[in-house]
Structures are given as structure tokens and as C-alpha cells.
């Protein structure tokens, strides 16, 4: 069975892909659907959803369009989620591969660094990092990646440890390839699939971390994010709960979608074929 067929046979993957496609479309088309600043004041404050067709999800305390915020917020969430996961997977697999392949002292040293990062809760690390520097998008991405790269590093190292004993690695050594070349060209590509499957979880985690940071007022105040929308809505939770619920639902759907897609990817990448 081909990989694609395996993916299609996993309902999780298909649902996840559908959810994320909608999200990605919203993110891509945001400037067309809602041109201008989504934080612009668009109508009367605290308009309840489904009362004004021009403002289908109502407005927040300052009269800003909730739907516009939601769609533009999707961009921030996706950008942060993907960028953070990319950075985390890149750093993690690189460190993991080097550690696993080199072994010995290098391995010990690198893995103790990984330990050091794993001891500190990722969210606290991000919190400290963002509050020291200014909360701009690149800083937030780096902060989240800082806490997330250790997972891929450990996984990659474990994979490498098993791969480096394979025959083709031995063959590469014998023909005189540079060890670094072997690590990066022979081993890393083969160690990647399980790490990539893990990346879906990292994306989901990164989106949640970003939302939590924005909720605590440590996001970039000049862009709209779901976390900051929930935080804004919190002040009026009792009188206008939809302000927190709507972006909350978006967040839940995104994380579920990412997670399901990750499941589908894992099924697709698994070496053993699944029997239906």
C-alpha cells in the first residue's frame, strides 16, 4: 500500500487535514477577506454575534470585528506554530544526530545541555525569555522553540543510535566519507520521519504556548492573536462570554486538527503496513 493510501485510510488524518486546510485558507486570505487593520474599530462595542450581518461574530469591548480578529489571528497562530516547530525540529534533529553519531564526550555534553533545557518547564522558559526581550513575533517564536527542541533531539539521537550500526553506514565509512557528511547525508534523512511525526505535536504545543503568552499580555500588542482575544474577553466573561469562547473554539479546533494530522502522518510514515 502506498504512503498516500495509508494516509487516506486513516480518518484522523483526513479530518485533521480538512481542518487545517480551512485554517490555512483563512490565514492566507485574511488580507483579502478583511483588508486593513483587524484591530480597527468597526462598530458599536459588545455587539452580540449573529445580530448584524456585517459583523457576524459581533464586536469586542472597543467595537472591533471579532470575525476579522479571528481570521487574522489564524495567521499569527499558524505562523508562530509552524515557525516554532520548524526551528525546534531543525535544532533538535541536528543536535540529536550529532550526539548520536559522535557518541562519547560529545554525546554526553550535548545530552546534558538537552537535560538542562528539559529541567526548566518550557512555558516558564518562554515567559522569561519574552519578558526580558521585547515581545515581537521572532522573539516569541524563538522563545517557544527554546522549550520545544529537546523532544526532537532525544528522538533523533535514539534513531541515529540504531541507524549508525546499519550496513550502509559502515559502507559509507569504508569508502572514506567524512563523518559529518555521513551524519548529515546518510543518517539524518533516515532518522527524520519519526521526528517529523512528532512535529505535529510541537506545532500544537507552540500554538497553545503562543496563546498563553498573549493571554498573559506578553504577545506582540500590534497584531491580533487568539490568546490576546481571549485575554481581552476575560474582563467581560460574565456579560459577554462569546468574546472568549469564539477564539477558544478556534484554538481547540486548530490544535485538534494539528494533532489529528500528526496521527495521519504517523500512520503514513510507519514502516509496517497496517492491516485493515
Partner 1 sequence: MTSLSRRSLLQGVGVLLASTALPAFSFAQALPTGGRLVVAADSEPRNLNPAIVASNGVFFVASKVIEPLAEADFEAEGGLVPRLAIAWEGSDDGLSATFKLRQGVTWHDGQPFTAADVAFSALEVWKPLQNLGRIVFANLESVDTPDDYTAVFNFSKPTPFQLLRNALPVVTSVLPRHLYEGTNIAENPANTQLVGTGPFRFAEYKPGEYYRLARNETYWGEGLPHLDEIIYRVLPDRAAAAGALEAEEIQLAAFSAVPLADLARIAQVPGIEVISRGYEGLTYQLVVEINHRRQELSNLEVRRAIAHAIDKQYVVDTIFLGYATAATGIVPHNAPEFYNPEVPQYEFDIAKANALLDAAGYPRGDNGIRFSLKLLPAPYFNETRQFGDYLRQALAEIGIDAQLVNNDSAAHQKAVYTDHDFDLAVAPPVFRGDPAISTTILIRSGTPAGVSFSNQGGYESAELDSLIDRAAETVDTEERTQLYNELQVRAGEQLPLINVAEWGFITVARDTVLNVGNNPRWAVSNWADTAVQQ
Binding site for partner 1 (CB under 8 A): 37, 39-41, 45, 61-63, 131, 134-135, 217-218, 221-222, 234-240
Minimum distance, C-beta of residue 40 to partner 1, in the bound complex (Å): 6
Minimum distance, C-beta of residue 172 to partner 1, in the bound complex (Å): 52
- The CB density around residue 170, as the number of other CB atoms within 10 Å, is 11
**251, 264, 270 from 11: Cα distances, Å:** 21, 8, 16
Which of 127/169 has CB closer to partner 1?
127
65: helix, strand or coil: strand
- Of 22, 18, 7, 23, the residue nearest 267 (C-alpha): 7
CA atoms 106, 111, 117, 122: torsion sign: positive
Which of 103/241 has CB closer to partner 1?
241
Minimum distance, C-beta of residue 235 to partner 1, in the bound complex (Å): 5
Which of 14/236 has CB closer to partner 1?
236
Which of 45/49 has CB closer to partner 1?
45
| Virtual torsion, Cα 53, 58, 63, 64, nearest 10 deg | -90
Residues in the chain: 276
Which of 13/38 has CB closer to partner 1?
38
Q: What are phi and psi of 41, to 5 degrees?
A: -80, 120
Which of 97/244 has CB closer to partner 1?
244
Which of 12/220 has CB closer to partner 1?
220
Question: Which set of grid coordinates corresponds to residue 256?
Answer: 485538534
Q: Which long-range contacts (CB under 8 A, 24 or more apart) does 192-196 make?
A: 192/93, 192/156, 193/269, 194/155, 194/159, 194/269, 195/89, 195/92, 195/93, 195/96, 195/152, 195/155, 195/156, 195/159, 196/89, 196/265, 196/269
Burial of 136 (0-12, 13-18, 19+ CB in 10 A): middle
Minimum distance, C-beta of residue 102 to partner 1, in the bound complex (Å): 42
Question: Which set of grid coordinates corresponds to residue 72?
Answer: 487574522
Minimum distance, C-beta of residue 83 to partner 1, in the bound complex (Å): 21
Minimum distance, C-beta of residue 81 to partner 1, in the bound complex (Å): 22
Which of 212/268 has CB closer to partner 1?
212
Minimum distance, C-beta of residue 193 to partner 1, in the bound complex (Å): 41
Minimum distance, C-beta of residue 208 to partner 1, in the bound complex (Å): 21
Amino acid at each position: 500500500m502506498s504512503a498516500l493510501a495509508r494516509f487516506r485510510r486513516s480518518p484522523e488524518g483526513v479530518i485533521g487535514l480538512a481542518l487545517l486546510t480551512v485554517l490555512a485558507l483563512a490565514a492566507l486570505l485574511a488580507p483579502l477577506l478583511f483588508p486593513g487593520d483587524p484591530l480597527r474599530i468597526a462598530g458599536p462595542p459588545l455587539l452580540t454575534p449573529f445580530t448584524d450581518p456585517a459583523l457576524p461574530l459581533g464586536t469586542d469591548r472597543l467595537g472591533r470585528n471579532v470575525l476579522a480578529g479571528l481570521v487574522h489571528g489564524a495567521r499569527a497562530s499558524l505562523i508562530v506554530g509552524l515557525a516554532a516547530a520548524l526551528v525546534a525540529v531543525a535544532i533538535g534533529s541536528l543536535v540529536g544526530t550529532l550526539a548520536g553519531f559522535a557518541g562519547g564526550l560529545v554525546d554526553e555534553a550535548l545530552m546534558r545541555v538537552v537535560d538542562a533545557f528539559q529541567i526548566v518547564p518550557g512555558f516558564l522558559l518562554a515567559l522569561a525569555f519574552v519578558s526580558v526581550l521585547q515581545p515581537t513575533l521572532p522573539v516569541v517564536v524563538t522563545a517557544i522553540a527554546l522549550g520545544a527542541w529537546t523532544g526532537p533531539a532525544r528522538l533523533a539521537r535514539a534513531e541515529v543510535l540504531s541507524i549508525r550500526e546499519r550496513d550502509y553506514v559502515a559502507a559509507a565509512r569504508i569508502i572514506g566519507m567524512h563523518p559529518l557528511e555521513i551524519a548529515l547525508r546518510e543518517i539524518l534523512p533516515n532518522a527524520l520521519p519519526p521526528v517529523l511525526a512528532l512535529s505535529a505535536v510541537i506545532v500544537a504545543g507552540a500554538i497553545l504556548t503562543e496563546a498563553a503568552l498573549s493571554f498573559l499580555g506578553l504577545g506582540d500588542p500590534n497584531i491580533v492573536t487568539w490568546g490576546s482575544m481571549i485575554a481581552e474577553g476575560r474582563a467581560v466573561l460574565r456579560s459577554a462570554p462569546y468574546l472568549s469562547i469564539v477564539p477558544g473554539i478556534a484554538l481547540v479546533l486548530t490544535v485538534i486538527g494539528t494533532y489529528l494530522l500528526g496521527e495521519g502522518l504517523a500512520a503514513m510514515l510507519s514502516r509496517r503496513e497496517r492491516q485493515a
